[in-house]
Amino acid sequence: MIVHQQNVADLSNNGLLGETMKGSKSKSASVKPTKSFVNQREYSLHTIKNSKTSHGKTWNTHVDHWQRANLVSAPYKLMVYSAYLDKRNPQAPSVVVIGAALTRGGPKVYCKLQFSHKKPILVVAYKRIINEHWNLKYSACFFYCALNKDDSKPLNVSVADNSQFKAAAILTVYDNKEDNNTLPHGRIALCVKPLHYSYDRATWFIEFLELHRLLGVEHFFLYNHSMGHAVEQAVMVYLQQGVVSLLPWKLEIQSQKEIRTEGLFAALNDCLYRSMFLFKYVLMLDFDEFIIPTGNVTYDKLLTDLTKIRRGTYQPSSFVFQNAFFYLYWDNDTTAYNEEPETPPGNIPYLLTQYKTRRVKNPMKHGSRSKFVVVPERALEVGNHVVWRVVP
């Protein structure tokens, strides 16, 4: 069941969207801002380590890296990132490997599952390409390594394009349900696609995290391809507070020309499995997107209320929200500060939610640039705007 409710605030200034809308006669509606302020403090970069939050909770996560699973001399690339035990279907348990491979064709992929108490199991993986790939050469994908019904969790899985496992990648297998049973279970987490192009809008970054924390997000999962110095300093603060998990993301496939932006769908689906059984709800947004409840103070109350009005006997696996654009090239709203942003003598920080309060009047249809909140243990595959597959 998919529940449709509320709006996404999407502040866009890139690509065809900005160019297409310039000079158009789209109707707009204003939203009054409230006054707020963001301060930046500098901290030195150090090792990723999550400490306890102010609420006494901490959610440490394992750190993974992209690995090549075939010989460098091969005419193609086979990449893998992380591996998770999935026993949600007790009749067909498997190890789910998050990876990237040729969109069409390619070799067989083999899994060697290593156990502590018995001999390894060798299986041919079932490759499933993640839906959104733009027909580029490479796509994010799942490799499903089948287990027997009575198998315990493997220690690790070797992945290769040959049964001799030459140049294989070796991944630790994580069981989120069992590995996290001693950790405090959170209510709401948020996943963001990989930071890239040396992302360095520190004020917007802080605004994004702080607004979502006010709305009830307890933890953020970030994937770092590249970030600028200012954002790096801000990230360190949140790492020290235990608010953020920062995962390295160096995918050796050319972004946009060979694969969708930095393999973003591998990151989103890794985040799905990484947060599974640890958080009840997970938002998946970009740094210029905000899901704003109407008539509810927090996400928790919003989602609880929406669940109560569901129809039928099934529990919702995702909540889809309509999108409305707040274009950056439209005039600033100076209600909150009575002056333009980042201009002397005040140099007011350029907060999106304070200055960009005018949106297109009619939100887009559900499924078109929409965003969603997912219940992780009920989903099998997520995209950028919808949940593609759910548990039967």
Percent with pLDDT over 90 in the chain: 69
Show the domain range for 363: 2-60+183-390
| 234 and 188 belong to one structural domain | yes
| 305 and 360 belong to one structural domain | yes
Q: How many separate domains does the chain show? A: 2
| 287 and 216 belong to one structural domain | yes
Q: Is the pLDDT of residue 243 over 70?
A: yes
Indicate the pLDDT class of residue 57, thresholds 50, 70 and 90.
Answer: low
Domain C-terminal end among 176, 204, 225: 176
| Confidence (pLDDT) at 182 | 65
Per-residue pLDDT tens for 83-95?
Answer: 999 999 989 999 9
| 271 and 302 belong to one structural domain | yes
Domain C-terminal end among 176, 202, 237: 176
Which pTM does this prediction carry?
A: 0.86
| 286 and 343 belong to one structural domain | yes
| 247 and 335 belong to one structural domain | yes
| 213 and 307 belong to one structural domain | yes
Q: Is the pLDDT of residue 19 over 50?
A: no
Q: Is the pLDDT of residue 4 over 60?
A: no
Per-residue pLDDT tens for 126-165?
Answer: 999 998 888 999 999 999 999 998 888 999 999 999 999 9
For the ranges 174-188, 208-222, 263-277, which has the lowest average pLDDT? 174-188
Alpha-carbon span 88 to 177, nearest angstrom: 10
Please report, for the domain that includes residue 144, its CATH number.
2.60.40.10
Indicate the pLDDT class of residue 313, thresholds 50, 70 and 90.
Answer: confident
| Confidence (pLDDT) at 44 | 28
- Over residues 246-265, the mean pLDDT reads 94
Domain C-terminal end among 158, 176, 194: 176
For the ranges 24-33, 108-117, 224-233, which has the lowest average pLDDT? 24-33
Alpha-carbon span 88 to 226, nearest angstrom: 35
Q: Is the pLDDT of residue 18 over 60?
A: no
253 to each of 70, 79, 83, 186, 257, how far by Cα in Å? 14, 9, 20, 34, 9
| Confidence (pLDDT) at 48 | 35
| 46 and 83 belong to one structural domain | no
Cross-strand pairs, 10: 289, 325
| 231 and 133 belong to one structural domain | no
| Confidence (pLDDT) at 187 | 92
For the ranges 179-188, 279-288, 321-330, which has the lowest average pLDDT? 179-188
Q: Is the pLDDT of residue 247 over 70?
A: yes
End-to-end Cα, the chain, rounded Å: 11
Per-residue pLDDT tens for 361-375?
Answer: 999 998 889 999 999
Per-residue pLDDT tens for 316-364?
Answer: 999 999 999 999 999 999 999 999 998 888 888 889 999 999 999 999 9
Three-state SS sequence of the chain: CEEEEEEEEECCCCHHHHHHHCCCCCCEEECCCCCCCCCCCCCCCCCCCCCCCCCCCCCCCCCCCCEECCCCCCCCCCEEEEEEEECCCCCCCEEEEEEEEECCCCCCCEEEEECCCCCCEEEECEEEECCCCCCCCEEEEEEEEECCCCCCCCCEEEEECCCCCCCCEEEEEECHHHHCCCCCCEEEEEEECCECCCECCHHHHHHHHHHHHHCCCCEEEEEECCECHHHHHHHHHHHHHCCEEEEECCCCCCECCCECHHHHHHHHHHHHHHHCCCEEEEEEECCCEEEECCCCCCHHHHHHHHHHCCCCCCCCCEEEEEEEECCCCCCCCCCCCCCCCCCCCCCCCCCHHHHCCEEECCCCCCCCCCEEEECHHHEEEECCCCEEEECC
Indicate the pLDDT class of residue 311, thresholds 50, 70 and 90.
Answer: low
Name the maximum alpha-carbon separation found in the chain: 71
For the ranges 35-44, 166-175, 189-198, which has the lowest average pLDDT? 35-44
Please report, for the domain that includes residue 339, its CATH number.
3.90.550
Indicate the pLDDT class of residue 295, thresholds 50, 70 and 90.
Answer: confident
- Over residues 373-388, the mean pLDDT reads 95
Q: Calculate the average pLDDT of the chain.
A: 85
Indicate the pLDDT class of residue 58, thresholds 50, 70 and 90.
Answer: low
Q: Is the pLDDT of residue 50 over 70?
A: no
Q: Is the pLDDT of residue 172 over 50?
A: yes
| 222 and 267 belong to one structural domain | yes
| 189 and 241 belong to one structural domain | yes
CB 378 within 8 A of CB 343: no
| 114 and 199 belong to one structural domain | no
